[in-house]
């Protein structure tokens, strides 16, 4: 999308504020997190043009806990209405510590990544690889929820592959744990970015929960 196309909506559902606990998004236009794209200057520009939610590049929770400069730089929320930080990882202790650090640095919302399909991420058992083991994925969600006071949201795919489309199950369990909003990419991990989004499958996730659910796939 051309950045000039991001304008605050004036009518319709997308113009309505969205409350996630104490955090209130002024409208429902989201700039999705994209590694190598949604750095702080890009997010500030999108926010200035009216996006209601701009989300940081994915941050490895272990790198953040270890004080890596690149991970810390991605926390920058200067000039944003709300600072939404996305964390990835596969160990509860690092996810909890990363969430605490992010909140301490001013994050208003913590987003958990269970959707990234990149091989170097799933090879480390993070991102969408977590959808192959929902019990383990829920330990990470619980760890983050227990570590911070700010709202926690979740990004997912439809599942690992067409034989394991478990997004509705994950959504229900995440809602029960305390997640406030769910974002769904309407493809499986094994699809990467090929083909078309399965909107019927996204609808099934929406119908599985009572909290807000969103889609980022086109």
Q: 63 near 37, Cβ under 8 Å?
A: no
Residue 116 designated active-site: yes
Tell me if residue 25 falls in helix, strand or coil. Answer: strand
Residues, the chain: 218
- Phi/psi for 183 (5° steps) reads -110, 130
Catalytic residue among 2, 90, 116, 190: 116
168: how many CB neighbours lie within 10 A of its CB?
A: 18
First-to-last C-alpha distance (Å) of the chain: 11
11 contacts: CB under 8 Å, gap ≥ 6: none
What positions carry a catalytic annotation? 116
């Amino acid at each position: 999308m051309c950045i000039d196309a991001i304008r605050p909506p004036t009518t319709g559902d997308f113009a309505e504020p969205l409350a996630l606990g104490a955090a209130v998004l002024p409208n429902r236009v989201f700039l999705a997190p994209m590694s190598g794209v949604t750095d702080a200057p890009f997010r500030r520009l999108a926010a200035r043009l009216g996006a209601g939610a701009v989300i940081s590049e994915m941050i490895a929770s272990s790198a953040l806990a270890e004080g890596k400069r690149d991970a810390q730089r991605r926390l920058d929320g200067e000039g944003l209405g709300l600072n939404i930080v996305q964390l990835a990882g596969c160990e509860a202790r690092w996810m909890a510590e990363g969430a605490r650090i992010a909140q301490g640095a001013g994050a208003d919302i913590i987003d958990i990544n269970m959707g990234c399909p990149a091989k170097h991420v799933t090879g480390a058992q993070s991102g969408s690889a977590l959808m192959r083991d929902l019990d383990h994925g829920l330990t990470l969600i619980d760890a983050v929820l227990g570590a911070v006071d700010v709202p926690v949201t979740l990004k997912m795919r439809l599942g690992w592959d067409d034989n394991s489309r478990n997004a509705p199950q994950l959504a229900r369990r995440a809602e029960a744990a305390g997640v406030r909003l769910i974002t769904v990419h309407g493809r499986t991990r094994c699809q990467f970015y090929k083909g078309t989004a399965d909107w019927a499958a996204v609808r099934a996730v929406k119908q599985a929960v009572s909290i807000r659910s969103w889609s980022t796939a086109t």
